Structure 1
Amino acid sequence: MTSEAEGAFHMVDVSSLTDGPRRATLRTSDGVPIEARYEPGAGGTTGTAIVVAHGFTGSVDRPSVRRAAGVFARHAAVVTFSFRGHGRSGGRSTVGDREVLDLAAAVAWARELGHARVVTVGFSMGGSVVLRHAALHGSGGARTDAVAAVSAPARWYYRGTPAMRRVHWLITRPAGRLVGRFGLRTRIHDRDWDPVPLSPVEAVPLIAPTPLLVVHGDRDPYFPLDHPRALADAADGAAELWLVPGMGHAENAAEDALLGRIADWLSAP
């Protein structure tokens, strides 16, 4: 179960062909249907488009994702989507592995809609995905022009905090996956990674010259500050690092002012 060396994406069931908001079902290169939503926002249909990759157990319609999308839409067009196994998307979550293909389909859709400049921002699991996507899709229609990772892990299998030990129970235990499915509306794959995918910190050196921003709260209960620092160090001076005082974890903790700063950074040519 790995996302490496996959083929091209394609898109199906696009709703409205107007210049306004629309929904679509995207199909990934491995055949998974992904629900997606587009809002022209301040960027219209020709300016920058920001593609938002939510955290684990999120979805396109979760309030925290909609809030972030609303802030980003003041600066640019916005594409949101649900990762596989989340929301109304098909498949099952691989917790950061094949989700790269979901993001690639969303980025390619933004370009299909007419955006020459497409950027990505990811939160937590989505942060790991945007990093790996930028490393693995450096050219072609699924490439990103800038990437921001918020509250992202640097390495796999981290269990150093109580919050992450709970996440590992959810992912690895049958009872945990039942809780995920029925309590959190997240369908989780029951197979181990084989092979283990490229980790976020291994992906970072492959991202340049694409601009990279790493954002992390100093009160993150999931990943301590050695994670963002390791990501920034791996970029060898090519990444910008923002350590945010008082911030917790991911999209739920990111205040509107911070989201606006991220949008400004992503929208800058």
Structure 2
Amino acid sequence: MSSVSEGRFRSSSVSLITPGPLRTTLRTDDGVRIEAVYEPCTADAGAAAETSFDGTATGTAIVVAHGFTGSVDRPAVRRAAEVFSQRAAVITFSFRGHGGSGGRSTVGDREVLDLAAAVEWARALGHRRIVTVGFSMGGSVVLRHGALYTGRSTIGGRAGRTGGEREGRVGARTGAHADAVVAVSAPARWYYRGTAPMRRLHWLVTRPLGRLVGRYGFGTRIDRDDWDPVPLSPTGAAGLIAPAPLLIVHGDRDPYFPLDHPRMLADAAGEGAELWLERGMGHAENAADESLLTRIGDWAVAR
């Protein structure tokens, strides 16, 4: 990978002479440094569709949001990027507190700012259409990002919401909105402890010893503060994404979140969502095989 100096964005276009991936460091709206990688479309036909006559990137880019304890260089993330890049350009990044990014993980709260920076970078590179694909924690982040960053005029600034929600929708002036959203293995509600893996995850996040295990065992630096205020729930976000297309993908053998979670998300989204229940699939990017990733990539470029 070629090295790119740190900055908000690298440039406004990607030249056809670019031989391969580009790595950069983005800065979020709250000042956290996020490592990110851009990979151009690898298919001949796709590459032609992704560039204009002067070699500027113009078409679809897929922005991948990994799960908790993941990172841009994890094998499962790289596998997803490789499959998606056969259909579109791809941006992968490490959430705050993960991999080479700065800050501490807030387990789905301020991570929406990390995703917004990556989407905004894709538009600065020249891409006209952005699809976000999130796995597990990343799935909850793409849902909330899709609800808050609308691509339309600003709605109410930082207006309040029901249930103590203080977030407001952000208009198109930022260029950080997604045109379509894919949530894979995402939770439907916060603080879920109904499975043993989720009870272990809560111990990891909420206990001092657990955060030490997260840091030295999983390479994930976790913030010790509680959410204040509690972010917009995944189901609340799912109902706000339309008219952007939404795809919800979930395995029937997911050990973290049973099937009531994707069904709740689909019900909340109504006619604006498509639901795929995958037979034999486990959880998130580690369980997403090439066939499923191919179908997700096809959906992303077709919507």
* Distance in 2 separating the partners of 1:74 and 1:17: 17
* Distance in 1 separating the partners of 2:131 and 2:22: 19
User: Structure 1 residue 47: deviation in Å?
Assistant: 1.8
* Distance in 1 separating the partners of 2:9 and 2:188: 36
Deviations 1:23-67 (A, max 9, x none): 110000000000000001244422210000000000000000000
Q: Is the 8 A contact 1:11 1:109 kept in 2?
A: no
SS of 2:271's partner is coil
SS of 2:204's partner is helix
Could you list the runs of 5+ residues in structure 1 that have no partner in the other structure?
Answer: 1-9
SS of 2:127's partner is coil
* Distance in 2 separating the partners of 1:267 and 1:156: 31
* Distance in 1 separating the partners of 2:224 and 2:242: 34
Is residue 99 of structure 1 aligned with residue 95 of structure 2? no
Which residue number corresponds to residue 259 of structure 1?
293
Letter in 2 for 1:206: L
Could you list the runs of 5+ residues in structure 2 that have no partner in the other structure?
Answer: 1-5, 48-56, 152-171
SS of 1:70's partner is helix
C-alpha spacing 1:237/1:17, structure 2 compared with 1 (3 Å) = closer
* Distance in 2 separating the partners of 1:231 and 1:120: 17
Which structure has more relative contact order (CA 8 Å, sep 6+)? It is: 1
Which residue number corresponds to residue 10 of structure 2?
14
* Distance in 1 separating the partners of 2:302 and 2:178: 14
SS of 1:106's partner is helix
Which residue number corresponds to residue 223 of structure 1?
257
* Distance in 2 separating the partners of 1:238 and 1:152: 17
**One of 108, 124, 135 as aligned partner of 2:147:** 135
Which residue number corresponds to residue 7 of structure 1?
none
Q: Is the 8 A contact 2:64 2:134 kept in 1?
A: yes
* Distance in 2 separating the partners of 1:178 and 1:259: 33
Is residue 25 of structure 1 aligned with residue 25 of structure 2? yes
Instruction: Choose 1 or 2 for highest CA Rg.
Output: 2
SS of 1:242's partner is strand
Letter in 2 for 1:197: P
**One of 214, 220, 241 as aligned partner of 1:180:** 214
* Distance in 2 separating the partners of 1:251 and 1:46: 27
* Distance in 2 separating the partners of 1:12 and 1:114: 15
C-alpha spacing 1:11/1:166, structure 2 compared with 1 (3 Å) = same
* Distance in 1 separating the partners of 2:245 and 2:289: 23
User: Structure 1 residue 12: deviation in Å?
Assistant: 3.3
SS of 1:12's partner is coil
* Distance in 2 separating the partners of 1:63 and 1:184: 14
* Distance in 2 separating the partners of 1:258 and 1:92: 31
Deviations 1:148-197 (A, max 9, x none): 00000000000000000000000000000000001100000000000101
* Distance in 2 separating the partners of 1:241 and 1:207: 15
Which residue number corresponds to residue 38 of structure 1?
38
> Structure 2-normalised TM-score?
0.83
| Larger deviation, residues 206-215 vs 14-23 | 14-23
C-alpha spacing 1:122/1:178, structure 2 compared with 1 (3 Å) = same
Q: Is the 8 A contact 1:11 1:105 kept in 2?
A: no
Letter in 2 for 1:171: V
Which residue number corresponds to residue 132 of structure 2?
120
**One of 208, 211, 217 as aligned partner of 2:245:** 211
Matches within 5 A, 1:76-87: 76-87=88-99
* Distance in 1 separating the partners of 2:302 and 2:214: 38
Which residue number corresponds to residue 266 of structure 2?
232
User: Structure 1 residue 213: deviation in Å?
Assistant: 0.2
SS of 2:239's partner is helix
RMSD over aligned CA atoms reads: 1.5
Runs of 4+ residues over 3 Å off in structure 1? 10-20
**One of 262, 266, 277 as aligned partner of 1:243:** 277
User: Structure 1 residue 237: deviation in Å?
Assistant: 1.8
Q: Is the 8 A contact 1:204 1:231 kept in 2?
A: yes
C-alpha spacing 1:22/1:193, structure 2 compared with 1 (3 Å) = same
Q: How many residues align structurally?
A: 260
Letter in 2 for 1:89: S
